[in-house]
Amino acid sequence: MGNTNSCQKEPVKKKETIFKNEVYRIPALFYNRDENILMAFAEKRTNENDSSTEALVMKTGKVKKEEMEVTIKWSEQKTLIEKGSHRPMNPCPLYEKNNKTLFLFFIRVEGECTEQWQIDHNQNKARLCYVKTTDNGQSWSDETDLTHSLVEIKHWATFAVGPGHGLQTESGRLIVPVYAYVSGKSSAPHAVSLYSDDKGETWKFGKMLKNESLECQMAEYFDHSGNSLIYCNARTKGSYREEDISHNKGEDFSKLSCFFCFYKNLVETTGGCQGSVVSFPDQDGNIGGESSQNQNKWLLFTHPSDKSKRSKLGVYVNKSPKDPSAWSAPWVINCGFSGYSDLAYIDEGWFACLMECGEKKYNEQIAFQMFSYNEVKQAIKK
């Protein structure tokens, strides 16, 4: 099921180009539902190489909802973080709802030093930083560098955040998805959570996933008993995605497994590719597209669905997140070349997706796509 996809029925709304004419990569998306504002982030580069990032850029989009229609009006592009001695990479927005503060986490990497050089030489050249805003990106704080306050980083060859969004749990914990290579050990990377229980004042790392796992995202959902679970979906170097679950709000994870799985639904593209995941209220028989309890119980995932190359960006649904075999077949929302993506849930059954795509290669532009759960349901027929 996970290996089949179709381009027969693309979303009703057409894709809208957000970042183009330069080289842009690594999309990240946040939706402020209090203000009905989307914030889109990306890396601006001089060429396609990871070592050529010049700045982090952003646009904001005002969301207008009328009956069954959702429209977005985008702002002009703004340069947010510029290159100095260390280039900024991997935007990862994270919202603290009590103080109405958006954190934008990112890494800074020295000069043009590559990730592979750091791994080969066991020398970390990356820094862990964030800026924050309380006015939807009109103004931003100075940078905060957390690198030297977290002892684990001293033992890593290198690391990165996300990319894509972080999350705040219903209990208030802030979680940033991270992956790292530990110095002096095998070259295998492992995902880990960075979390805060005091609204972002102090931060701690959880325990690394046991299995190899690269770029990752996490989502909170609730089981039928109302228990909170943190789901982690990570890129791998193998044929399938890594899926893990945490019962203690992301402090440690165990691999999801099922005894009767004869196939795995979430395939990994050759060489691996980042993917995005969000949780949302179950949509079965709910008026207005929301659950009566309004608890997030389902998962939505986007990732290139072609096993051999970055193409055919697929949307997958899982109504039973504890079961890795419960993922639907993908609904392909971009039939051509497709790369990294980031999702946001807009409410009332609507989703937003920021994606790398193009006609000749996957990194020609970053585009924006809106679609509804009803479209997903009709496409996957499940």
Task: Give the pLDDT confidence of 195-248 residue by residue, as tens digits.
Answer: 999 999 999 999 999 999 999 999 999 998 999 999 999 999 999 999 999 999
pLDDT at residue number 315: 97
Mean pLDDT of the region 331-351: 95
Task: Indicate if the pLDDT at residue 1 is higher than 50.
Answer: no
Q: Measured between alpha carbons, how far is 147 from 129 in angstroms, rounded to an integer?
A: 7
d(CA 126, CA 129): 10
Average confidence (pLDDT) over 186-194: 91
Decide if 248 contacts 228 (C-beta within 8 A).
no
Q: Which amino acid is at 207?
A: K
Mean pLDDT, residues 329-353: 95
Indicate which residue of 243, 356, 364, 375 is catalytic.
356
> Pick the catalytic residue: 24, 31, 43, 50?
50
Do strands 23-32 and 37-45 pair parallel, antiparallel, or not at all (unpaired)? antiparallel
Which residues face 24 on adjacent strands?
Answer: 44
How many residues are listed for the chain in this entry?
382
pLDDT score, position 66 = 77
- In the prediction, which pLDDT does 123 show? 95
Mean pLDDT for the chain overall: 92
pLDDT tens figures, 33-83: 999 999 999 999 999 999 999 999 999 999 988 766 778 899 999 999 999
Of the residues 316, 340, 345, 373, only one is catalytic, namely 340
The CATH number of the domain covering residues in 21-381 = 2.120.10.10
Residue 342: active-site member: no
**Residue 171 to residues 106, 183, 207, Cα–Cα distance (Å):** 24, 34, 20
Question: Does pLDDT of 287 surpass 50?
Answer: no
Nearest to 72 by CA among 370, 371, 349, 333: 370
Give the span between the Cα atoms of 193 and 204, in whole angstroms: 8
140 close to 132: Cβ distance less than 8 angstroms: yes
Mean pLDDT of 281-306: 79
Question: Tell me, what's the pLDDT at 186?
Answer: 72
- The mean pLDDT value for 309-325 works out to 95
Under a CB-based contact definition with an 8 Å cutoff, are residues 243 and 206 in contact?
no
The answer, yes or no, to whether residue 290 has pLDDT greater than 60, is: no
117-141 residue pLDDT tens: 999 999 999 999 999 999 999 999 9
Indicate the pLDDT class of residue 292, thresholds 50, 70 and 90.
very low
CB 228 within 8 A of CB 220: yes
Cα–Cα separations (whole angstroms), residue 31 to 68, 90, 146, 344: 18, 18, 25, 6
Q: Which of 97, 204, 96 is nearest to 153 (CA)?
A: 204
pLDDT at 257: 80
Cβ burial, residue 49 (10 Å; 0-12/13-18/19+): exposed
Structural domain boundaries in the chain:
21-381
Is 356 considered catalytic here?
yes
Beta bridge partner(s), residue 107: 89, 128
| Amino acid occupying residue 337 | F
340 is catalytic: yes
